[in-house]
Chain A
Amino acid sequence: MSKVGIASYGITKFSKDDSKIESVLLQSTKKLFDNSPNLSRNDIDAVLVSTNNNSKYLSAVLSEMSGIEPKIAHSVESLCNSGTNAIVSAYSYIAAGLADVVLVCGAERYDSPGQILEWDNSRGEFKHPIFWASIFTKSYKREFSVTDEELAIVPVKNHKQSHNNPNALSEKTYSLDDVINSKKLTDDLRLHDCSRPCTGGASILLASENTCKKFTDTPIWITGIGQKTTSAGFTKNITFSSMESTQIAATSAFQMSKRNITDVDVAEVHDAFSVCEPIALESLGFTDKGKGIDMIKELHTTNNFKINPRGGLIGAGHPLGATGIAQTIEITQQLQSSANKRQVKNAKIGLVHNMSAAATSSTVLVLER
């Protein structure tokens, strides 16, 4: 099977702007074209749009507005991991020989309908994500004797890192006290523990091995893909202190890439809420169960940007359909040594972890230069 690589990307600044979804899609696509002098509209065989927005026919709309007449054009929606799902679909079209070059464009508005899964009635009146996050946090704290103060390191670290990300929603840094004293949403969750919905777009260009080289001298290869959906309803999770779908997806991604977790130099993990970062690190295999916080403390104290260099979802903001693509762009920049102040030294192998609806679905990608 021919390799599939990342040939170019474009990203907008994440904001609270009241922009039309079509405009956000177009902005990041324009940036991708600006970054790809050798790319012509005729090169693009497929246009995939990743979003939870209710507007219809967006891939055809984006194609028309960009002057592209693709063979394949459609949307991909899977709540918060729509972005990596669209990347996996693009990969599959190329690997199957149905397309040679695919434009994947993710976008969301700050008022995305994807934040609430109306179908999940087992949550009763507690459908907002802060409630599953509270249950996860409570469960994790009790099982591993972790405190609110320890979990507060996650937003402190991630806002510190997003301070070096010009496209991040957050432009502030916070102290542990700032996090602890931020608005209490529930007994187990404070405002600064939460990633924030926002308006943002991220585009990526995938191409087959030979074609990639036409657009870039430094293609980044997708060498591992793992995906798992265990359920749709949050209450079906076996535990609330680990992520089963993430663990299974990571195993598949490492199997495909013939790599393992110790090979990973840099990773973007889905820190929708503070507690998600240690749980994700544990479920991906970076560290033992209950030890995620120790790893995060160590990284923060030594100013090591290995995990969530762009600031993760908490620092960068979380425009659902764009998130997985923005995470993949960050790892691409890291592996191309073009991440400026966020650069993790000598990063050769990277990982993306993107999940949906309380980890009922996860995607893990392994990227290499």
Chain B
Amino acid sequence: MNFDSELEKGNFIIAECIHCKKIVWPPSEFCNKCFREVSWRKGSHEGKIIEFSRQNDAYFCLVEIENSIRIMGKISKGIPITGQQVKIEKCGIKDDNYNFEISLM
């Protein structure tokens, strides 16, 4: 499995080190603590807003997932608040960049 190829298909997967019992983020084939190979699993799509701002009419935010993964994405609709629960509505790769669409819960 490979994070980028799965993301391209719209799947959000997580690299985990079974030995260290930790999520490896950013995604990598090796654990950054023990260098063992990671295993992959389907990631939770739910997280919370750490911080946000707005460009033109579009809010963007920094989201934390499973207490360790942080990504930036665009909020599809609504006005966010810090700490608010959100989920990844859609993800993929667009113009060579990871692309996350976040919806408020």
Contact = CB atoms under 8 A, between A and B. Distances in A.
Contacts of A240: 50-51, 62
Nearest to B3: A121
Interface residues of A, number: 24
Interface in A165-193: 185-189
Contacts of A53: none
B70 A122 contact: yes
A87 B96 CA distance: 35
A185 B54 CA distance: 9
B51 A139 contact: yes
Interface stretch (A58-66, A126-134, A264-272, A294-302): A126-134
A138 B60 CA distance: 12
B72 A124 contact: yes
A236 B70 contact: yes
B25 A122 contact: yes
Given A126-B60, A131-B72, A139-B51, A121 B99 contact: no
Interface in B68-101: 70-74, 82, 94-100
B53 interface: yes
Given A123-B72, A124-B72, A135 B53 contact: yes
B97 A188 contact: no
A121 B60 contact: no
A89 to B, nearest CB: 26
Given A124-B72, A131-B72, A138 B99 contact: no
A126 B51 contact: no
A131 B59 CA distance: 11
Contacts of A134: 53, 55
A184 to B, nearest CB: 9
A235 interface: yes
B74 A125 contact: yes
A186 B62 CA distance: 15
A124 B100 CA distance: 7
A285 interface: no
Kindly name the residue among B53, B55, B95, B99 whose own CB sees the greatest number of chain A CB atoms within 10 A.
B53
A113 interface: no
A124 B93 CA distance: 9
B72 A138 contact: no
Interface string A105-145: 00000000000001001111111000100110111001000
B40 interface: no
Contacts of A137: 53
Interface in A74-107: none
Contacts of B25: 122
A187 B70 CA distance: 21
Given A142-B82, A235-B62, A122 B53 contact: no
B52 interface: yes
A233 interface: yes
B52 A122 contact: no
Contacts of A142: 82
A139 B53 CA distance: 10
A327 B97 CA distance: 34
Given A122-B25, A124-B99, A233-B26, A188 B53 contact: yes
17 contacts: A121-B26, A121-B98, A122-B26, A123-B72, A124-B71, A124-B72, A124-B97, A124-B99, A124-B100, A125-B72, A126-B60, A131-B72, A185-B55, A189-B53, A235-B70, A235-B72, A240-B62
Interface of B: 25-26, 50-55, 60, 62, 70-74, 82, 94-100
Given A124-B74, A131-B53, 18 more contacts: A122-B71, A123-B72, A124-B73, A124-B98, A124-B100, A125-B74, A125-B97, A126-B60, A126-B72, A127-B97, A135-B51, A135-B52, A139-B51, A186-B53, A187-B53, A188-B53, A233-B26, A236-B70
